[in-house]
Structure 1
Amino acid sequence: MKKVLSVVLGTSVLLAAGCSKHDAPASEQKTEAGLQKVVLASTGSDTDVWKFISTLPETKKAGIDLEVKNFTDYVAMNNATANKEVDANAFQSYNYMVAYNTESKAKVAAVSTTYIEPMGIYSSKYKKIDQFPNNATIAIPNDAANEARALSLLQTAGLLKLKAGFNPIQGTTNDVVENPKHIQLKPIPMATAVRVKTDVDAIVLGNTLAMEGGLNVLKDALFYEPADQSTKLYVNLVATAAGRENDPTLKKLGELYHTAAVKKFIDEKFGGTKIDVNKPVSYFTENKQ
């Protein structure tokens, strides 16, 4: 596990502490209209989706008054969720959640699946993967889960080979066993990723950050992940504090995400880059699709 996640966990506690903490989970609170108050943390394009969901008549019909809070720090979101300062969050993939739970005393758990956004390889200098020169520098995420995911993608693209039994959640650059082009892997904070895109030969980006930089993974990436069983660990989810994952009110959030109105909104706003995945939570650990 990368030490950087531990560092971020420590510093992000301060950010999370700044949130207003409920005396009881928000879903136990009722509004004047008799709706159950639910506070959900999210970030970037996901915030846009959940704010749209909060306006739907289906949400009110489900008995939910949904408040969406925008965060800029991933670990702070999980800290706030685990500590019940917010009821749930929607930003992370399954493998990121596992990495967080490995490092943190506080735990979060999956409520429902939402979508998968393919991770892609982008370059301002080259149009094809096979054009990368020897000693090319490729920037990859420096948080544990996304670093392992990026390395898996680079292997699928044929740029390097990872050791047998590579851990798709905790694997690191130390697990590279073959690197025929002597690719220089440069782990960087993903918050700064788009800004350094022109400073390196290529960069591996998750789709949320790519979109914030004006990129569409299906059109602009030189290579991107397939959306199938092989990438199920990268499916995004709604998460809550461990022990609350079967809360019937929170389960309704997953149902709302997969409504026709939301699918239409996502397709129109995000160019097909958020691929709907409506599976039970057991999908992450089962052997078959």
Structure 2
Amino acid sequence: MKKLISLLLTACVLTLAACGKQQAPATETQQDNAQTQTVVIASTGSDADVWRYIAGLPETGQAGIKLDVKNFTDYVAMNTAVANKEIDLNAFQSYAYLVAFNASNKDKIAAVATTYLEPMGIYSGKVKKVEEFGNGATIAIPNDGANESRALLLLQSAGLVKLKPGFDNVKGTPADIIENNKKIVIKPIQMATAVRVKDEVDAIVLGNTLAMEGGLNVLKDSIYYESIDQSTRMNVNVLATSESRKDDPLLQKVAALYHIEAVKKYVQEHFGGTKVDVNEPVSYLTEAK
């Protein structure tokens, strides 16, 4: 009998020990963490500020997303990183810039969604109106593909030059100018140093991100800026990823966060109305080619 009791007690102890080793049910926090997916996004300047703000929003966590914002200073490096799938997304470029990148690179990238359009402007410390430029005035413009073309179209819109029929709004160059009555000297320069040389020329054409970093507001400080209409659709900024991930549902969820009310309010308050929200399908851009 003593042996039987002893065996029963041993069996009970082993059973209790086994029960003690069973995994406790996952807490709500553990379940949430398991469902959260990290998305690495590369950006620069004011765009990076916007995405850092989005990363801290409760709506981002509720969407099951953790945003890891990486700051880059090199545009080509950002596109190469997403093309090689080292980075999930990037946020810095216009659709025209993306098209120009694809035209000269083997590894392709694609637009996931639209974000905003910010006008490119002409800035001058010497004249108040484009009509005041004298003969032989020097105007500096970006020297990179799509932005160079965009700047030339802006100069044409301002009545300073005339471009050849069928001007390529991605690959156009100053060689495509067919009329230049004031003999304006077009000086393509590296945009990274653009604001610093503004006073060394008669005027400079700047994208809004660089202008804002230099303390300039395109709506208040430029002497002329782009209209926001269908003619400037190629200049809408996009979220970009590798070609194979353009329809990834996770990346689409990230894109949707840019257009929520909290982000619109933040952008309006911090960027003086210079980033105009564009919430359109990618087809809106491709039809503009």
Band of TM-score, shorter chain = 0.7 to 0.9
Partner of 1:275: 276
Q: Check whether the contact 2:113–2:282 (CA below 8 A) recurs between aligned residues.
A: yes
- Amino acid in the other structure paired with 2:244: G
Q: 1:287 Cα deviation (Å)? A: 6.0
Partner of 1:116: 117
Equivalents in 2 of 1:124, 1:212: separation in Å? 17
Partner of 2:149: 148
Equivalents in 2 of 1:73, 1:133: separation in Å? 35
Q: 1:286 Cα deviation (Å)? A: 2.5
SS at match of 2:35: coil
- Amino acid in the other structure paired with 2:62: K
Label 1:111 to 1:218 Cα distance change in 2 as closer, same or farther (>3 A). Answer: same
Matches within 5 A, 1:161-200: 161-200=162-201
- Amino acid in the other structure paired with 1:56: L
Comparing 278-287 and 60-69, the one that deviates more: 278-287
Q: Check whether the contact 1:128–1:222 (CA below 8 A) recurs between aligned residues.
A: yes
Partner of 1:59: 60
Partner of 1:252: 253
Equivalents in 2 of 1:105, 1:171: separation in Å? 21
Equivalents in 1 of 2:89, 2:225: separation in Å? 29
**1:49-100 alpha-carbon deviations (Å, 9 max, x no partner):** 0000000111111110000001000000000011011100000000000000
**1:98-150 alpha-carbon deviations (Å, 9 max, x no partner):** 00001111111000000001000000111111111100000000001000000
Equivalents in 2 of 1:41, 1:145: separation in Å? 20
SS at match of 2:54: helix
- Amino acid in the other structure paired with 1:199: E
Partner of 2:236: 235
SS at match of 1:232: helix
Per the normalisation by structure 2, the TM-score is 0.88
Equivalents in 2 of 1:189, 1:262: separation in Å? 31
Q: 1:34 Cα deviation (Å)? A: 3.0
Equivalents in 1 of 2:288, 2:46: separation in Å? 31
SS at match of 1:86: coil
- Amino acid in the other structure paired with 2:100: A
Identity of aligned residues (%): 66
Q: 1:253 Cα deviation (Å)? A: 1.6
Q: What are the ranges of 5 or more consecutive residues in structure 2 without an aligned counterpart?
A: 1-30
Partner of 2:73: 72
**2:140 is aligned with 1:139:** yes
Q: Check whether the contact 1:31–1:37 (CA below 8 A) recurs between aligned residues.
A: no
Q: 1:31 Cα deviation (Å)? A: 9.1
- Amino acid in the other structure paired with 1:219: K
Equivalents in 2 of 1:269, 1:45: separation in Å? 9
**2:115 is aligned with 1:130:** no
Q: Displaced runs of 4+ in structure 1, greater than 6 A?
A: none
**1:5-54 alpha-carbon deviations (Å, 9 max, x no partner):** xxxxxxxxxxxxxxxxxxxxxxxxx9945310100000000000000000
Equivalents in 2 of 1:56, 1:229: separation in Å? 32
Q: Check whether the contact 1:49–1:266 (CA below 8 A) recurs between aligned residues.
A: yes
Partner of 1:47: 48
SS at match of 1:214: coil
Partner of 2:93: 92
- Amino acid in the other structure paired with 2:85: K
**2:225 is aligned with 1:224:** yes
SS at match of 1:208: helix
Q: Check whether the contact 2:234–2:288 (CA below 8 A) recurs between aligned residues.
A: no
- Amino acid in the other structure paired with 2:231: S
Kindly tell me the number of residue pairs found equivalent between the two proteins: 259
Equivalents in 2 of 1:56, 1:31: separation in Å? 16
Q: Check whether the contact 1:31–1:65 (CA below 8 A) recurs between aligned residues.
A: no
Equivalents in 2 of 1:255, 1:141: separation in Å? 31
Equivalents in 2 of 1:218, 1:207: separation in Å? 10
SS at match of 1:121: strand
Q: What are the ranges of 5 or more consecutive residues in structure 1 without an aligned counterpart?
A: 1-29
Aligned CA-pair RMSD: 1.4
Partner of 1:263: 264
- Amino acid in the other structure paired with 2:150: R
